[in-house]
């Protein structure tokens, strides 16, 4: 198949470009439906006249409906999106990039979604959907699942189907609470994810940044101890990745501590641990949640992260962890390969 695709790309490159354009338009309508033509044009940053031409084509092919509220994708259109996803993946050579990244990072697997989340926010929804499909395949009943917070993990939970057959499973937050929007807090996402699974859930209703005295006191609370014990035995962890400079501020650290983190050349953050470009932990913040010792014992670590501006951060947190599966977007993956080749 790859050989055929390469021949097509060489002989009729305009055909492949047109295919990708129509796929992107159809996917954007699907994730934003109902949507008007002008908003769609702005969203994709292409001219209204081009959008109008393509919309007319998609309508004639019965792939979309047009009504007063806006455009929506038909059942046939949704089927086309699902089938084209794998074709676009192969056509763009993403399987080769996945294998290259897997080898250079020395991790279990890499899954790449076509597109660039920093150029098209629809790709973030596709990232969440792809991660949800992967988690659905690996999750089993009678297990403990831990989730972090963040907008990317929220997309994963939002995309997950309601399959209430995991009554013996427990979902727990991987970390304590941060002072930010409740919709993206680990506690909120753990509860929502559990409801979709028909599972039980436990919460860690404590702030992340505590004094040493408060930290020691809370750890002795029975309800907190129970959740911590569950985290020690987690089977699956779904987590996001952040830039060190952004996350140190977002976690409410003092300016002095932020300066220390940056002086140590930290570029990435996950679970409250800060990593340098070589993947070494150079700083950590005391928190109730998963420890590095716990993380090393977990069989299924699923990192979901996108954005070229995060490429350094993602590389730093993924290096040499053979239990990690990374799910990211095309733009980020290419930038990560560039970074690792330069190093």
pLDDT digit string (tens) for 284-298?
Answer: 876 677 888 888 889
Span 197-212, pLDDT tens digits: 999 999 887 766 666 6
| Top CATH class, 2-91 | mainly alpha
Report the alpha-carbon distance of residue 172 to residue 148 in Å, rounded: 9
Residue 140 has pLDDT above 60, yes or no: yes
Report the alpha-carbon distance of residue 324 to residue 110 in Å, rounded: 9
The stretches of the chain forming alpha helices (DSSP H) are 2-11, 13-32, 37-44, 48-60, 75-91, 94-105, 122-138, 151-159, 186-197, 212-219, 222-232, 244-250, 255-263, 292-297, 311-318, 330-342
Q: Where does the pLDDT of residue 221 fall: very low under 50, low under 70, confident under 90, or very high at 90 and above?
A: confident
Q: CATH second-level architecture of 94-342?
A: 3-Layer(aba) Sandwich (3.40)
Model's pTM, two decimal places? 0.88
| Phi, psi dihedral angles at 162 (to 5 degrees) | -80, 110
In this structure, the strands spanning 71-73 and 64-66 are: antiparallel
Taking Cα atoms as reference points, which of 241, 238, 294, 291 lies closest to residue 266? 241
3-state SS, residue 10: helix
Span 274-284, pLDDT tens digits: 999 999 999 88
**Does residue 205 contact residue 187 with C-beta atoms inside 8 Å?**
yes
Domain locations along the chain: 2-91, 94-342
Paired residues of 249 in beta bridges: none
139 Cα distance to chain centroid: 17
Report the alpha-carbon distance of residue 328 to residue 48 in Å, rounded: 30
């Amino acid at each position: 198949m790859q050989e055929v695709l390469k021949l097509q790309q060489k002989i009729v490159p305009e055909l492949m470009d047109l295919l990708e354009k129509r796929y992107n338009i159809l996917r954007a309508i699907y994730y934003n439906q109902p949507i008007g033509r002008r908003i769609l044009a702005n969203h994709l940053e292409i001219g209204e006249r081009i959008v109008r031409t393509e919309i007319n084509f998609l309508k004639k092919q019965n792939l979309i409906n047009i009504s007063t509220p806006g455009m929506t994708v038909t059942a046939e259109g949704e089927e086309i999106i699902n089938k084209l996803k794998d074709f676009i993946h192969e056509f763009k050579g993403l399987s080769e990039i996945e294998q290259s990244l897997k080898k250079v990072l020395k991790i279990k697997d890499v899954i790449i979604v076509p597109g660039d989340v920093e150029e098209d926010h629809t790709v973030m929804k596709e990232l969440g959907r792809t991660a949800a499909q992967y988690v659905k395949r690996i999750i089993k009943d009678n297990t403990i699942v831990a989730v972090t917070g963040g907008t990317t993990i929220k997309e994963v939970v939002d995309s997950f189907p309601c399959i209430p057959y995991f009554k013996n499973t427990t979902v727990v937050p991987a970390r304590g609470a941060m002072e930010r929007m409740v919709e993206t807090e680990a506690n909120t996402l753990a509860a929502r994810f559990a409801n979709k699974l028909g599972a039980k859930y436990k919460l860690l209703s404590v702030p992340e940044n505590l004094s040493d005295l408060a930290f020691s006191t809370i750890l002795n609370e029975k309800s907190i101890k129970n959740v911590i014990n569950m985290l020690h035995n987690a089977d699956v962890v779904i987590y996001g990745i952040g830039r060190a400079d952004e996350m140190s501020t977002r976690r409410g650290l003092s300016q002095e501590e932020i300066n220390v983190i940056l002086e140590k050349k930290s570029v990435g953050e996950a679970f409250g641990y800060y990593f340098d470009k070589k993947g070494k932990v150079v700083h950590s913040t005391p928190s109730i949640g998963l420890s590095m010792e716990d993380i090393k014992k977990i069989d299924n670590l699923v990192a979901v992260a996108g954005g070229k501006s995060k490429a350094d951060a993602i590389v730093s947190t993924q290096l040499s962890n053979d239990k990690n599966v990374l799910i990211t977007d095309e733009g980020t993956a290419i930038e990560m390969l560039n970074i690792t080749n330069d190093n």
